[in-house]
Structure 1
Amino acid sequence: MGRVRKVLTGRLAVGALVLAIAGAGFGLYWFQPWKLWQDETVDEALPGVVQASEPPAAAPSGKPSEAPSPPARPQALASGELISHEHATSGSVKLVRLADGSHVVRLENLDTSNGPDLRVWLTDAPVKAGKAGWHVFDDGEYVSLGRLKGNKGSQNYTLPDDIDAARYTSVSIWCDRFDVSFGAAELARA
């Protein structure tokens, strides 16, 4: 009887060890805690900003040719400052109409923590400070503009053509894995 008890106790110990290792592996995959110490900086230029051009060339008659009309420039339609929610977050957000009529959400000087599944959301939710703002963004309408390119820097996120940008009032850096906002900005119309 003592030998049977030792065998059962050994099998239970091995089973518990296997479950503990599997649980630790799943926890590491799910939470990805190392990302809290890894920064990814992305610095993109605003699309459609034209650099200074050369002066107009002279026409064959020797007179300078007429300068073409200046190209349309991007126009900021709304902007706001990011506030912290789940993680310390700072920077500014702009909703910009480009010269071709398309729209982008631009994050400038973003500084937040990295996370396992961060997205940029354009939402109709109000921005609330503190813990009250953690879970409000998935209650209303939102458009996911894609994965956050980097947790630091300046980045652009293109709005789909069928989206009416005027219907949305805020931007959130959203952790899709844990359904929580890292930070958000209320968009004030220009």
Structure 2
Amino acid sequence: MPALGLSRRTIVILLVALVVVAGGALYAFQPWKAFTTTTVDETLPSASAPATPGTPSTPPPGAAGPVDLARGSFVSHEHATSGTARTVRLADGKQSVLRLEDLATSEGPDVRVYLSPRDARSAEKGLGEGAVQLGKLKGNRGNQNYSVPAGTDLSAFRSAVIWCERFSVSFGAADLTPA
């Protein structure tokens, strides 16, 4: 006898629809990430001139070490976020990285690292025109480096932002104050 007056075919269709909707929700929200942690512990890279065959890959004599260009502390937006962001020009003087130190935030689906022309407070509402994506967040804890594309004018950016692409929200941001 059919339950609630529904035919067996209707019940099967409803169950299939429920499975599809549940699968879509799991894909979109990835709720298990609320209970996971990915720790990354990268050292600050040392840049050097490209090696030519038969020569070691070392900086030229007298080359200066990495130079801090700007830094700031993260403030929380949609998720509790802390740590420090630094823009660093590497020893070769040509390459720059955004370095996140002692980062602590939530994991989430499709989380990216951006440089934004907006300050940290304004970045909560959006990245702003001209924001530059540096890559997927490598881990929600620890120390990590993101290469800044060659030719990027770092003085045009006011903050580093941890941004969830899927839901268009900022987890947190750090104002980048010149060093």
Give the TM-score normalised by the residue count of structure 2.
0.85
Check conservation: 1:85, 1:133, Cα contact below 8 A: no
Structure 1 residue 133: deviation in Å? 5.0
1:84 positional shift = 0.5
- Determine the C-alpha separation between the residues in 1 that align with 2:64 and 2:36: 39
CA RMSD in angstroms, aligned pairs only: 2.3
**SS in structure 2 of the partner of residue 82 of structure 1:** strand
What is the SS of the residue equivalent to 1:93? strand
Displacement of 1:70 in angstroms is 4.8
Amino acid at match of 2:125: H
> Partner residue of 2:134?
145
Match of 1:163 in 2: 152
- 1:125 is aligned to 118
1:82-116 deviation line (CA, Å, top 9, x unaligned): 00011100000001011112110000000001111
Write the distance in 1 (CA, Å) between the matches of 2:14 and 2:151: 53
**Are the structure 2 counterparts of residues 100 and 69 from structure 1 closer, same or farther at C-alpha, using a change threshold of 3 Å?**
closer
Deviation of 1:24 (Å): 0.2
CA distance in 2, matches of 1:143, 1:96: 16
SS at match of 1:77: strand
Equivalent in the alignment of 2:14: 16
1:119, 1:147 within 8 Å by CA — same for their partners in 2? yes
Q: Spell out, residue by residue over 1:103-144, the C-alpha distance to the aligned partner (whole angstroms, 9 max, x if none).
A: 10000000001111111000101221xxx753321x322100
The code of the aligned residue for 2:144 comes to: Q
Task: Identify the residue that residue 124 of structure 2 maps to in structure 1.
Answer: 134
For 2:87, the aligned partner's letter is L
* Paired residue total: 166
TM-score, length basis structure 1: 0.81
Would you say 1:184 and 2:176 are equivalent positions? no
Who wins on radius of gyration, i.e. which is larger? 1
Cα distance between partner residues in 2 of 1:149 and 1:177: 16
In the other structure, the counterpart of 1:84 is 76
* Unaligned 5+ runs, structure 2: 48-59
For residues 19 and 156 of structure 2, what CA distance do their matches in structure 1 show? 48
2:43 is matched with: 45
Q: Post-superposition shift, 1:23?
A: 0.2
Percentage identity across aligned positions?
A: 49
- Asked whether the equivalents of residues 125 and 141 of structure 1 are also in contact (C-alpha less than 8 Å), the reply is no
After TM superposition, where is structure 1 displaced by more than 6 Å over at least 4 residues in a row? none
Q: CA deviation at 1:187?
A: 0.5
List runs of 5+ in structure 1 lacking aligned partners: 50-67
**Counterpart contact for 1:75–1:97, Cα < 8 Å:** yes
Q: Is the 8 A contact 2:75 2:172 kept in 1?
A: yes
**What whole-Å deviation, never above 9, does each CA across 1:6-54 have from its counterpart, x for those lacking one?**
6x622222111111110001110111110111101000111128xxxxx
